[in-house]
Structure 1
Amino acid sequence: MKTSHIRTPLPGPRAQALIARDAEVISPSYPRDYPFAMSHGRGTEVWDVDGNRFLDFAAGIAVCATGHAHPRVVEVVRQAAGEFLHISSDYWHEQMVGLGERLARLAPMRTLAGEAAMSFLCQSGTEAVEGAIKLARYVTRRPRFIGFLGGFHGRSMGSLSFTSSKYTQQLGFAPTMPGVTHVPYPDPYRPLFAGADQGQAVLDYIGLLFERSVPAAEVAAILVEPIQGEGGYIVPPDGFLAGLRALCDRHGILLIFDEVQSGVGRTGRMFACEHWGVAPDILTSAKGLGSGLPIGAVVAKKSIMAQWKRGAHGNTYGGNPIACAAANATLDLVEGGFAENAATVGAHFMDRLGELARRYPCIGEVRGRGLMIGLELIGTDGSRKPARALCDAVITRAFHNGLLLLSCGASTVRFMPPLNTSVAEVDEAVELLDASLEEALVGSHDPA
């Protein structure tokens, strides 16, 4: 195992000092899993303040799409910063207009359905979701929404009303925005509907809701992640997204795809919905769009977004020139080969994880697309019981071995490295993961 890059006990003395200072002045609400204090990064490699080197397969929660400090992104950010740092969205500038043109060209409503698109630029995924649900209500004049259990869409009050990946995210904040009804997300590995096509069963369930308790004529939109992220990196069954599209069309409901985590090349395509050839009416993007700079976008059919009147929605920082410059450079790189690399290297990664799955009975499933991959850990009694303690132990041991990971769902290790991660780096990560699994299993006897 490659442990030579870890030079100190973790956390090291400088990290301990920084963490102690943080505890006095920074909110304790951040869900930090292990004591990593970053100094700098290059590509998929990062170093902590004590000089320990790690492979970053969390990438700032799928934000660092082009890796840490990609030279092209750094170059355009420096150039843009030297011109002007900010002008409010009341005015115009080249980076903002150019990004809007780029998003209009790449939007799945255009590439899959041949419809023109427009964008509203903002700072984050949660703000993009807020904009999307506001647009849906404004256009349809309907008050209700359908969301999915396990979904994560943000933490501000509107987006939080959809978020249901963990109850702790809503605990203490009720009531959130009214009008949201949650339905199951189809999970082929953990089916809720026995002996049925899980996607069709969920569609039938929504149909039953429309008959019994949620009038379809009052539903503005259905908000869904094409691949569920925080809920477990769950890939829906084929036909599900197309079924949602048909259901929405039948009832005059808008379909919103949250591609904050799955978009911008993450799955080997520009947007995950392209794997199934289904176009939304509205799409949200953020995270990897700016390679680390805060930016988000609501992308919608032009026929929908053009209905917003002057002053109907706005913000101060939307279209920030530095963030837009980073986004334009990011999209250059993603289109120029990074999405293709995610598909190729992701396939190799899935194969390597499959090899581990054949050796470890605690690995229940390996699933994903591109470099958005989940490895679900289970008990060994044949019941597929989530192995929560084991998952936490693997994440912790991986950190001590020099690999940064995060979990999702009940007990899934998720992998979301930069899109330019190499085969060699994947092989190193698998070696570190293998050792971490062995160490965690030695210390873990309770599968729950």
Structure 2
Amino acid sequence: MSNLYERSLNVIPPVAARATKLGVVKGEGSYLITEDGKKVLDFASGVAVCNIGHNNKAVVEAATKQIQQLIHGGHNVVYYETYVKLAEKLVELTGGDTMVYFSNSGAEANEGAIKLAKYVSKRQGIISFKGSFHGRTLGTTSITASNSAYRKNYEGLLPSVYFAEYANCFRCPYKQKKESCSMECVEQFDDIFKRIIDPYSVAAIIMEPIQGEGGYIVPPKEFMKAIREICDKYGIYLIFDEVQTGFGRTGKMFAHENFDVKPDIMTCAKAIASGFPLSAVIGKKEIMKNWPAGAHGGTFGGNPVSCAASLATIEQLENGAIENGVESGAYLKKRLFELKEKYPIIGDVRGIGLMLAMEFVGENNVPNGRAVKNIINYSVEHGLILLNCGTYKNVLRFIAPTTVSKSEIDEALGIIEEAIVKEC
């Protein structure tokens, strides 16, 4: 038993849950080193944070250099180089017609995006999606619908929030088949606008381009394009939550590039700075310019060290890490499909880049969360960290760093197959 785990029991409340009981002292690339010196292959990447591996040398050097110059200046007080330079880089990456506001976490960025949309549109309604996860603050809990446990005992929440069905083709909420459906997931908005909220009262539709906590659900491209068209028709701002999907996770810098659809507002966090606290609200310039001084703020946003780490992270992604992630992701996905062919317990394999998942099922495709729990426990015992997702916790997600090697993938899959065999 981990000494760190045992010590934590008296001082850390259960709300600060962990996926494992491991105590770790160091990170190196795709591995974590435990307090008893064991190397553990990490296919959680700090929940999609360490997209270029743990303690990437370039990030460590950039952060160390910045620490020696300026740790905190306060972005409400002064301007400093790493902050402005990172904003310039993110504007470049998002087409040159955007502006950037920095904060600390994904939830904080999503709060900011909602405030921005409401303030500038002068509308109150927000439409989110079932299966979504946008954070754990009261505001972002209000727009989260991947699990009722996140909302329990916190009602009432932010008003004027409405939920639509996400395009989940494996478990279609309309019981349709992908090859023959009538895109009821798009038609639902006619009903929402007729029965529930007038479209001209909606400030924003917020969505993950690929749902994360909801089960690594990849929507059809035509669904994404249709949502963009709906927003354009009614003057609704389209917000993409790229907190988990951004910075190389899907083989592109941002996931929406896979769908040829651009948002009006985008939120980023997690992998933006390889583990240093940082997030960003990136919006079209004509929207951001109408968000006046004092309408939003925060003390620690855009910390100089975090911004330096982010610049180094982006440089690594652009100089080979994303390319390696595309190759490694294709290899991993191919191997996962091979497992699916061998084991009927695997109902679906899906994902893009290195945002991949296997959904485990029982008879008649009933969600099999028990199998996933057992596989995760077996994997941790044998040196591999994995996470689940999905409302029924029956989806095994793979969040390896973009720097992962094929030999590391083979190592992981060897452990996973042993665990699957035990479940069959």
The TM-score, its normalising length taken from structure 2, stands at 0.97
Matches within 5 A, 1:51-90: 51-90=37-76
Classify the secondary structure of the residue corresponding to 1:80: helix
Q: 2:167 aligns with which of 158, 176, 186?
A: 186
1:206 maps onto 2:189 in alignment:
yes
Structure 1 pair 173–274 and aligned structure 2 pair: CA distance change class (3 A):
same
**1:287 alignment partner in structure 2:** 270
Q: Is the 8 A contact 1:221 1:253 kept in 2?
A: yes
Q: Please say if residues 186 and 199 of structure 1, whose CA atoms lie closer than 8 Å, have aligned partners that are also in contact.
A: no
Aligned counterparts of 1:199 and 1:169: Cα–Cα separation in 2: 33
Secondary structure of 1:309's counterpart equals coil
CA displacement at 1:195 relative to structure 2: 3.3
Contact kept in structure 1, 2:169 and 2:177, CA below 8 Å: no
CA distance in structure 2 between the aligned counterparts of 1:428 and 1:81, rounded to whole angstroms: 37
Shift of 1:35: 1.0
Shift of 1:53: 1.3
Q: Aligned pair 1:316/2:306, yes or no?
A: no
5 Å-filtered alignment, 1:104-119, equals 104-107=91-94, 110=95, 116-119=97-100
1:13-54, CA deviations, whole angstroms, 9 ceiling, x for partnerless residues?
A: xx1x22121111112102323211111110001111111211
Show the 5 A alignment for 1:189-338: 189-195=170-176, 200-338=183-321
* 1:168-217 C-alpha deviation (Å, 9 max, x unpaired): 11111111111110111111111111336568211111121101111111
Tell me which residue corresponds to 2:143.
162
- Root-mean-square deviation (CA, aligned residues, Å) is 1.2
1:137/1:184 CA distance change after superposition, 3 Å: same
Shift of 1:397: 0.7
1:103 aligns with 2:90: yes
The equivalent of 1:373 in structure 2 is: 356
CA distance in 1, matches of 2:105, 2:144: 15
The number of equivalent residue pairs is 419
Give the % identical residues: 41
Q: Identify the match of residue 345 of structure 1 among 328, 331, 334.
A: 328
**Residue 142 (str. 1) matches residue 123 (str. 2):** yes
Could you give the per-residue CA deviations for residues 305-347 of structure 1, whole angstroms, max 9, x where no partner exists?
Answer: 0111111111111110000000000000111111111111100
Q: Does 1:402 align with 2:383?
A: yes
Partner Cα separation in structure 2 for residue 219 and residue 166 of structure 1: 24
Which of 108, 111, 126 pairs up with 1:130? 111
SS in 2 for 1:129: helix
Q: Is the 8 A contact 2:5 2:22 kept in 1?
A: no
Write the distance in 2 (CA, Å) between the matches of 1:81 and 1:229.
33
Deviation of the 1:401 alpha carbon = 1.1
The answer on whether the counterparts of 2:217 and 2:351 sit within 8 Å (CA) in structure 1 is: yes
Is 1:43 the counterpart of 2:26? The answer is no
Which secondary structure does the structure 2 equivalent of 1:25 belong to? coil
| Aligned counterparts of 2:321 and 2:114: Cα–Cα separation in 1 | 31
Counterpart check, 1:18 vs 2:4: yes
Q: Cα 1:227–1:73, aligned 2, differ >3 Å: closer, same or farther?
A: same
Corresponding position: 1:92 with 2:65: no
1:415 to 398, 402, 415: 398
In structure 2, the partner of 1:354 is 337
Matched residue, 1:388: 369
Q: Deviations over 1:99-125 (max 9, x none)?
A: 000000111xx2xxxx60000001110
| Structure-2 separation of matches of 1:123 and 1:423 | 34
Q: How far off its partner does 1:71 sit? A: 0.6
Q: Is the 8 A contact 1:145 1:219 kept in 2?
A: yes
Alpha-carbon distance in structure 2 between the residues aligned to 1:233 and 1:196 = 19
Q: Distance in 2 between matches of 1:421 and 1:50?
A: 24
Indicate yes or no: 2:20 matched with 1:34. yes
Q: Deviations over 1:263-298 (max 9, x none)?
A: 111000011110111000000000000101110000
8 Å Cα contact 1:401-1:436 kept in structure 2: no
Q: For 1:128-181, what per-residue CA distance to the aligned partner results, in whole angstroms no more than 9, with x for missing partners?
A: 000000000001000001000110000011111111111111111111111110
Query: Is the 2:131–2:211 Cα contact (8 Å) retained in structure 1?
Result: yes
Letter in 2 for 1:245: R
Instruction: Work out the CA distance in 2 between the residues paired with 1:48 and 1:350.
Output: 29
Q: Which residue of structure 2 lines up, in the alignment, with residue 445 of structure 1? A: none
Note the residue ranges of structure 2 that are not aligned, 5 or more in a row.
none
**8 Å contact 1:266–1:419 — kept in the other structure?**
yes
* Preserved contact between residue 106 and residue 268 of structure 2 (Cα < 8 Å): yes
